[in-house]
Amino acid sequence: MAELPEVDLDALRREGLLPTPEGEGTQHDGTGRVDIAFTVDAGPEAPPTKRSVRVPPGVTVFDSASWNGIAIDSTCGGHGTCHKCKVRVEGQSPITRHDVRTFTPDQIAEGWRLACLVKATRDLQVDVPPLTTRPKAATVGVGRQVILRPAVQKRYVELDEPTLADQRSDLVRLTDAITDLELTADLSVLRRLATVLRQADFKVTAVVVDEALVDVEPGDTTDVRHAIAFDLGTTTVVATLLDLATGTPVAVASMLNKQQPFGADVITRISATMMDEGMLDKLRAAAGDTLSDLADQVCREGRVDPRTVYEVAVAGNATMTALALGIDPEPLGVAPFVMSTAHPPTVLASDVGLDLHPRARAVLFPALGAYVGGDIVAGMLATGMDRDKRTRLFIDVGTNCEIVLSDGDTIVSTAAPAGPAFEGGAIRCGMRAADGAIETVGLDGASGDVALGVIGDVEPRGLCGSGLVDVVSELVRVGLLDATGRFVPDEDAATALPALADRLTRVGEERVFVLHQPSPDSPPEESVYLSQRDVRELQFAKAAISTGWSLLLSELGLEQRDVQQVLLAGSFGSYLSPAAAVRIGLVPKLPVLRIVAAGNVAGEGAKMALLSVRERAGAAALLEEVTYVELSDRPDFNDRFVEQLGFST
């Protein structure tokens, strides 16, 4: 047998390095620490922030930033595949093939690199471009009116002071005055009780959650009680501060999940915990930091004392819920995909990183399955999927797409792995829905006009999920994409659509359609464009989703035309064009008026659970009413998937 050549495993750890440019500077000898000076661009409304960190030599710039709380955009978790973690490194640095694919020669000469591929083997100065920390998110969903009966109650009482003739304990004196509840008190309340009663002349307000006495406050504070509803999304987290006395929202805020640097999807994050035994604690802490920052923000904006927040509700998928609680998610990521529990326990808010009232509780939504989690249960609660007699299809479009179908009597659900395309991941010019993202596209085949709707009304710098669906839909409509998803030949485009044909060009060997050029003479690679590979990514995503709902229709013996309403849930669904979704086959071919943007229904469900104990019980009851259908068990899944890849023209 021939002797195998020696292989440098370290050189193969990332895709091969090109020769190091001359003048790179003195390399570190591998001992001690290296200094990295970060300059973080916070955007036009704030000055740049500077931060210096010390890390072991050989650590990547991306990891160095993440370890020290400096956010660098990424959707692959630092594996060099998403090409999003762009930074500018002062001085010469090695160039990888990924860098060559991502940056122009001029940008490479200026020091632009992918942060996950730059190893800190010497002292570095790194410029970090703005990160979208406030992505565009749907913060109002399609909720139902509920009878206001929160678990958090307050009772003002004026008690008789003890005497030698009346030596009842302080706790008995209080509980005797509240006759409609069987109150229980823990040690933290007993420690305060005697002092508060006497300082307040025995005129106090009892704070009760269900029948647990969580505090005793001096005076009458019955009108001051709050709660926070969280939609704990894989990418975006939304918080709504509620006034429980009136049932009205006080403040709403959203931000990127701080787990995002560890991976754009749940599988990547589960894998991270399997490869690094310390990763679970890091992900739990990141979730807690996200919830805490949002709680601080809504309380500050609502001018509410965080100590008057007595309960929170968290609606998240099974993986996000497990990570927030510090539960090992590995069984969720490998067959047969088993949850530790479908009913997460009610815990103290402090257990999930929140600094609110010391005895504030955190209620987490139950899950239907490993990939149809508490966020979908919350969404079903908000949209009344178990109460409406119409045939309704609920689709939460995202990296993992959850689908629920009800014919008015039977409810079935499933999950489809759509991938990161709808979040801008794996798309050449993809980005999240933030300022500069193209979110709508209109093409005029006759005049050649390209109408772009851009978030923030600024110059386009990328393409978000709704824009991706829009441009593919428009290209199908005008005839520049055929039924298989291929760009038509140049000669056919020039004959049929001469006004648009010059936008069909190439970047390298790949055909692209140019949407926006920074200047008339900008080359295609410096423009915002849609590539042939981007079209394929969208085809795979939409085929997974349409296969999911078509199989559910078959389960109930229904046809597409039988669906009376389609609910598009989540932040992405709120901005998706129904006509474009129908044209590409993402949803059933129905009149667009039957397709409704449902908004942040997970957040709405969480709000309802805080406002009504009856609705909270209804969420738990859904687990008994919904049948989960596992797509991977279906022998016809692959055939149906292939059938759904094409576009109807």
User: Residues 38-75: pLDDT tens digits?
Assistant: 998 877 767 888 888 877 667 788 878 866 667 787 76
| pLDDT, average across residues 226-247 | 92
pLDDT score for 295: 98
Cβ atoms of residues 156 and 245 within 8 Å: no
Q: What percent of the chain has pLDDT over 70?
A: 90
Could you tell me which residue, 101 or 205, shows the higher pLDDT? Answer: 205
3-class DSSP state for residue 445?
A: coil
Task: For 351-370, give the secondary structure using H, E and C.
Answer: HHCCCCCCCCEEEECCCCEC
Find the range with the poorest average confidence among 69-73, 123-127, 317-321, 484-488: 69-73
Query: Which carries the bigger pLDDT value, residue 495 or residue 234?
Result: 495
Indicate whether 203 pLDDT > 90: yes
pLDDT at 139: 44
Which pLDDT band, with edges at 50, 70 and 90, does 649 fall under? low
Please, what is the average pLDDT of the chain?
88
pLDDT at 393: 97
The pLDDT score that the predictor gives to residue 142 is 58
Mean pLDDT score, 76-103: 83
Q: What is the pLDDT of residues 13-37, one digit of tens each?
A: 333 333 334 334 445 544 456 789 9
User: Over 50: is that where the pLDDT of 475 sits?
Assistant: yes
Average pLDDT over residues 406-434: 88
- Transcribe 584-635 into DSSP letters: HTSS-S--GGGEEEEESHHHHHHHHHHHBHHHHHHHHHHHHHEEE--GGG-T
pLDDT in tens, 340-385: 999 999 999 999 999 999 999 999 999 998 989 999 999 999 999 9
pLDDT for residue 235: 83
Residue with the larger pLDDT of the pair 261 and 599: 261
Q: How confident is the model at residue 477 (pLDDT cuts 50, 70, 90)?
A: very high
pLDDT at 581 over 50: yes
On the question of pLDDT at 198 being above 90, the answer is yes
Q: Which residue has 């701080």 as its token pair?
A: 258
Instruction: Tell the burial category of 26 from Cβ atoms under 10 Å away from its Cβ (0-12, 13-18, 19+).
Output: exposed
Residue 181 has what pLDDT?
87
Highest-confidence range of 111-115, 450-454, 512-516, 615-619, by mean pLDDT? 512-516
Arithmetic mean of pLDDT, 413-437: 87
Q: Is the pLDDT of residue 5 over 50?
A: no
Average pLDDT over residues 86-94: 88
Helix (H) or strand (E) holding 89: strand 86-89
Q: What is the pLDDT of residue 362?
A: 98
> Which tens digit of pLDDT belongs to each residue from 155-188?
999 999 999 999 999 999 999 999 888 899 989 9
Least confident interval from 58-62, 142-146, 271-275: 142-146
pLDDT at 247: 87
pLDDT-wise least confident of 56-60, 294-298, 579-583 = 56-60
Mean pLDDT, rounded, for 254-269: 89
Q: In the prediction, which pLDDT does 136 show?
A: 52
- Residue 160's Cβ-count burial label (10 Å; 0-12, 13-18, 19+) is exposed
pLDDT for the residue 237 = 92
596, exposed or middle or buried, with CB in 10 Å at 0-12, 13-18, 19+?
middle
Give the full edge-to-edge strand order of the sheet including 510-516.
504-507, 510-516, 528-531
> How would residue 1 be classed by pLDDT, with cut points 50, 70 and 90?
very low
Tokens, residue 490: 């140049």
- In this prediction, residue 636 carries a pLDDT of 86
pLDDT of residue 101: 85
Confidence (pLDDT) at 586: 94
Answer whether the bond into residue 261 is a cis peptide, omega within 30°.
no
Lowest mean pLDDT of 480-484, 502-506, 594-598, name the range: 594-598
Would you call 539 helix, strand, or coil by DSSP?
A: helix
pLDDT for the residue numbered 18: 39
Higher pLDDT, 14 or 258: 258
Say which range, 131-135, 235-239, 521-525, has the weakest mean pLDDT: 131-135
The encoded tokens of residue 177 equal 């005055």
Residues 508-532 have pLDDT tens digits of 999 999 999 999 999 999 999 999 9
What pLDDT was estimated at residue 481?
A: 96
In 3-state terms, what secondary structure has residue 177? helix
For residue range 330-342, what is the model confidence (pLDDT) as tens digits? 999 998 889 999 9
Distances (CA, A) of 27 to 19, 32, 93, 202, 220: 15, 13, 11, 72, 68
Question: What is the pLDDT, as a whole number, of residue 540?
Answer: 94
